[in-house]
Chains A and B, each alone.
Chain A
């Protein structure tokens, strides 16, 4: 046996592909830079077919118009930007690290209580979204948004988290206190946590009620939204919003593990119905369901 020879080069390309298919998308992309022989294996359809999901949902017309000759091209396209499903109310993309299917349920796909009543919620065009419109909260006391997705649309054996994607308007009131309740239900199990559309700074004290909080239905008052000086007084375990790269904000509703192979559905809800006060000044793009990296 020639121990000096480049042994791995003697592996047929199919077997090198089999080995690469067991690594990750990141490893397979890096392997392409090792040598031309590696690149042939690393870029092969055999490897990327393994990273793509077993079944992709049907897409809206014209969504994948560009030529995508290789499986790797298809993977990179789907992990780069979302594609719309036929109803144009849900978009999908792949998590680049794992190939897991991720979705955004647009506001039109959600169930928004009082969403059909223009006095309470209106629908506005969105310039910076794949969806043509979003829901704008004018005034509401009963704040309830629900969404759901079929388990079989999600990738098996994956931990997901759901986020509401939103923007707060300047004139927003009532959404800082009390905290909203978010819940995620899979099968018979449901997990609820407190979240808040308003973030707060770390120098804040926990607990306490804002001075001008009135739990009875007065006409909405213009109020300067709190800035850095006055933190929102919530307890420790209230989920905080995060800024996204696309200019929107997101608030995690909860996470769940999708085992796969079940016919059930996962449902999400976000509510504030106990405070009894008016809330306004929110724009909702939708609920995003994406893979949550473990650890």
Chain B
């Protein structure tokens, strides 16, 4: 195991990210950005050299330290932290040197989110992602409806970095973890209500949507283990009100 194993001693961060972390830590010791750009023997493992985004100042600094609700510290490298608007602001204001509290989030879940950010961070371009600037939540009333919002998500995107497959594995979590992850996204954005990384939120909500699509209410209750706190009369009335949806 590398020396940058997660302080909890449980699951270390990815080996590659560990290397990035080690390099960043070493880089912090040296003074000039120029030296760092040359001294790196190989490009960041998760990106090819021609695509490495030049962020010398971000890579010099040590990773941010997020403190979960159970007191455990989780480190996130600066490039990955860029995916959170809140963390980006903190970094710009140079307030990110000390531990940053992430209340109401268990360290296991924070770990998962950090893993996601570490994986997607190098390719994340805040300028390109227009939707990342839309406030979410609360929903503005004029939401942009896309046909994809009422169809299964089957868009075909070019995916040069194999992120889609990684995402699929990542998101095949059990129900409770999935919801925790979605909740965390919410929390990481508490300060600013902007939706980075929108991708993770999209991923999670799309998963939930796929689980609900085409199912009868009884089936949805079963999948999500929801208690039916309608009275029989109430339920009958709702079915009548939405009768067309129940005609098969």
| Chain A interface residues toward B at CB < 8 A | 1-3, 5-12, 14-27, 29-39, 45-46, 49-54, 96, 98-99, 155-158
Stretch with Cβ within 8 A of A (4 or more), from B31-39, B160-168, B240-248: B240-248
Q: Shortest beta-carbon distance, B218 to chain A, in Å?
A: 9
Cβ–Cβ contact B227 & A32, under 8 A: no
Stretch with Cβ within 8 A of A (4 or more), from B54-62, B118-126, B133-141: B133-141
Interface of B is mostly: helix
Partner of B226, one of A17, A27, A34, A50: A34
Partner of A158, one of B147, B148, B186, B224: B147
- For the complex, give the distance between the alpha carbons of A38 and B221 in Å: 10
Q: Shortest beta-carbon distance, A11 to chain B, in Å?
A: 5
Cβ–Cβ contact A54 & B145, under 8 A: yes
Q: Shortest beta-carbon distance, A89 to chain B, in Å?
A: 28
* Chain A hits for B94, CB < 8 A: none
Cβ–Cβ contact B145 & A53, under 8 A: yes
Cβ–Cβ contact A50 & B213, under 8 A: no
Look across to chain A and name the residue whose beta carbon is closest to the beta carbon of B243: A29
Tally of chain B residues near chain A (CB < 8 A)? 54
| Chain B interface residues toward A at CB < 8 A | 106, 108, 136-139, 141-145, 147-151, 153, 175-177, 179-180, 182-183, 186, 201, 204-206, 208-209, 212-217, 220-221, 224-230, 235, 238-239, 241-242, 244-246
Q: Shortest beta-carbon distance, B62 to chain A, in Å?
A: 30
Q: Shortest beta-carbon distance, B177 to chain A, in Å?
A: 8
Given known pairs A3-B176, A7-B175, the reply for A50 and B217 (CB within 8 Å) is no
Q: Shortest beta-carbon distance, A27 to chain B, in Å?
A: 6
Cβ–Cβ contact B208 & A19, under 8 A: yes
* Chain A hits for B201, CB < 8 A: 15, 18
- For the complex, give the distance between the alpha carbons of A54 and B176 in Å: 34
* Chain B hits for A1, CB < 8 A: 106, 108, 176-177, 180
